[in-house]
Amino acid sequence: MSLADLFQRRLPLNRKEVYYTATVLPCIICADDFAHFHRLWPLLGIDAPPTSVAPHSTNIQFLTEYNFRDSIYSELHRERFSEELSGDTPDILILVDGPSPLMVSIEAKMYDTISAGNLIAQLRRQRERVLQPIMKAFPGMRLFQVALLPAGIPIEPDALASVKLLHWQQILAAFEDIGSASYFLGVLRLALESYEALRNERLIFGANKEASMTGGEILKHHTDGTLEFRTMGRLGGISGIRLAHDLATGRWREQLYELSIREEGLTNWFAVEDFVSQVRMVRSDV
C-alpha cells in the first residue's frame, strides 16, 4: 500500500506546521547522522564550516521549537544573556561553532496562510527579542534568518528584505535521493502535492500574531508604558470561556497570549486595554 493510500484509508495527513518543522524536516536533513546536512548550505547561500556530530567533539546545535527565554535556567546563562527576552519561538535554530561561527534561524509555514506583512513582523520580533541578544553575547557570529514556505504562498523574495526565502520544494529536490529518509521525503512530497486541498484559505489566528507574551509581561509593559502592541488574542475573544478561566484561576500571569500592533477587529482578538481592565477587576493587587 502506498503512503498516499494509507493516509486515505487510515489516519489523515497531519496539517500542523510543527509536525513538518520538528519531525519531517529534521528526519530529512539530519538523516544518516547528519551525513547529508551540507546540502542545506547552498540552498541558503551560506559558506558554512564543516560539522561534526560526534557527542565528544561536536560543533553543532540543532534545536526545534526553541524558546530561548524559557531555556535560560543556570546562573551562567542568566549572566550571559541578561537582556529582557520575549517568548517568541523560532521553528528551528541551528548554531555551528568554529573560527567563523554562524547561527541560522528558520521560521516555516506549511498550510497556514500568512501575509507578507505579518511574516515580516514576526521575523522582526524574533530578530530583535531573541536573535540579537544571542549575537551580542557572541561577537563575530554570523546570523542568517530564513523563511521556509510552500511555493504556493505568494510572497516574493524582495518582500522579505534581508531574510532568505526558501521553499519546501527546494528541500525535497536537494535531498530526494537519500534512501534512509525515504519515508519522510514521501510525507513531504504528499504534503506538497496536497497543498491546494489542505491549505487554510483565510488568515488564521496564529498568522496574525507579531509576538507572544505572558499576561504578566503584558501587564508589566502596559503599566510602565513600554508595550508597543494594541491588540491581543485568545480563543473565544474577550468574552470567551478560556480568558474567563485564565482570570478566575490566576493562570493569566503565565499564559502566553499573541500580540499585534493592528487596531482593526479580528475574530478572537481584543484590545490590550480591555484585558488590563479585566485583570484589575479580578485582582486588586495589580
CB atoms within 10 A of CB 194: 15
**Across all residues in the chain, what is the average pLDDT?**
88
pLDDT in tens, 155-207: 877 778 889 999 999 999 999 999 999 999 999 999 999 998 888 754 444 45
Domain ranges, residue 65: 3-198
3-state helix, strand, coil in the chain (%, to 5): 45, 15, 40
The answer to whether residues 79 and 134 belong to one domain is yes
Are residues 33 and 105 both part of a single domain?
A: yes
Tell me the pLDDT tens digit for each residue of 80-136: 887 767 678 899 999 999 988 999 999 999 998 777 777 887 888 889 889 999 999
pLDDT at 227: 83
pTM for this one? 0.72
| Same-domain check for residues 262 and 123 | no
What pLDDT does residue 244 have? 93
Same domain flag for 176 and 99: yes
Identify the CA nearest to 48 among candidates 110, 94, 102.
Answer: 102
Are 150 and 273 contained in the same domain? no
Indicate whether 49 and 126 sit together in one domain: yes
181, 254: one domain: no
Number of folded domains that form the chain:
2
Percent of the chain topping pLDDT 70:
93
Same domain, 149 and 237: no
**167 touches 149 (CB < 8 A):** yes
Which of 148, 179, 198 is the last residue before a domain boundary? 198
